[in-house]
């Protein structure tokens, strides 16, 4: 009975104890793999896998984390209706988030540069993400991003793009 009471006390104490906050300060680099869906004018659309490297820096202010990141995603798909192809997206992102102790939830804002066969364009990027540390150096995360480009297709129409990335990062 004493052993059961001791085990119960230990479980209650561990559940009630506040989780240790992660220290997110420092540089990191990683690789993302994901999916992009793009919709253009006249019903043209496309989707494909994306992949590429990223590098960034975060600063931890207690419960709040601010950071910046440069990311490159390689694309390789043709839009329907002969509207051209999408080759890559480069993003410069600011991110701010809340440290939940065992994970970081964050929002992203910044600029995205789309390189396409017809034209290149720059647009705002925004989205959300969550990061989870596996250990002191290795982090897995996921992001959902949105970009709305004005002029990258043959018919001079806009292109809306959604990107869903799974990411692995290594902190230095």
Tell me the per-residue pLDDT of 52-101, one tens digit each, with 9 for 90 and over. 999 999 999 999 999 999 999 998 877 766 767 788 999 999 999 999 98
**Model confidence, pTM:** 0.81
Count of beta carbons in the 10 Å neighbourhood of residue 10: 10
Q: Where are the beta strands (DSSP E) in the chain?
A: 26-39, 45-60, 64-78, 85-99, 104-116, 120-133, 138-149, 159-171
Count of beta carbons in the 10 Å neighbourhood of residue 126: 15
User: DSSP letters of 112-140?
Assistant: EEEEESS-EEEEEEEEEEEEEESSSSEEE
Domains recognised in the chain with CATH numbers = 22-171 (2.40.160.20)
Give the CA-trace dihedral at 48, 51, 52, 55, to 10 degrees.
110
Instruction: Indicate the DSSP class of residue 2.
Output: H
pLDDT digits (tens, 9 = 90+) for 98-133: 999 889 999 999 999 988 887 788 999 999 999 999
Strand, coil or helix: 8:
helix
């Amino acid at each position: 009975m004493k052993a059961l009471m001791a085990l119960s006390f230990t479980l209650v104490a561990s559940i009630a104890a506040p989780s240790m906050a992660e220290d997110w300060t420092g540089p990191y680099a990683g690789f993302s793999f994901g999916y992009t869906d793009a919709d253009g004018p006249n019903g043209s659309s496309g989707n494909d896998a994306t992949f590429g490297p990223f590098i960034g820096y975060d600063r931890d202010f207690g419960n709040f984390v601010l950071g910046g990141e440069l990311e490159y995603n390689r694309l390789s798909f043709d839009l329907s209706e002969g509207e051209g192809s999408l080759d890559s997206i480069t993003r410069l992102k600011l991110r701010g988030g809340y440290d939940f102790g065992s994970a970081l939830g964050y929002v992203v804002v910044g600029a995205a540069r789309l390189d396409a066969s017809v034209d290149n364009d720059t647009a705002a990027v925004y989205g959300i993400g969550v990061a989870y540390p596996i250990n002191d150096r290795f982090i897995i995360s996921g992001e959902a991003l949105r970009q709305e480009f004005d002029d990258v297709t043959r018919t001079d129409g806009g292109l809306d793009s959604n990107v869903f990335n799974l990411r692995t990062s290594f902190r230095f």
